[in-house]
Amino acid sequence: MDDTFKLPDDCTDMREVRTGVDRTDRELMDLLDRRFGYMRAAARIKSDRNVVRDEARKAEVVANAAKDATMRGLPGERIAQIWDMLVECSIDFELDEWDRLRP
């Protein structure tokens, strides 16, 4: 796989676009790996399983993502849906980690 890539405004053909998308997807996976690492840390730090789900925090995170997306000219409502799924997945992961750490 070609690791060289151009930024979107510099792309002149679909090969360059696809290379950029593939590179960006790998970078997103690196960021998701780090984000889920924080979920592992939270599972380790929280002493009560019942505090893993925090609806107020979830709403704040989703709203922040939607606001940031809108400010960048991205579809805020759709990004909010993605973030809602991301947070729900993160909560499930954290619960699994919490249980794993406390057999």
> Known binding site for substrate: residues?
18, 35, 46, 94
Tell me 73's DSSP state: T
Q: From CA 59, how far away is CA 57, in angstroms rounded?
A: 5
Which residue ranges make up the annotated binding site? 18, 35, 46, 94
DSSP states of 46-62 as a string?
-S-GGGS--HHHHHHHH
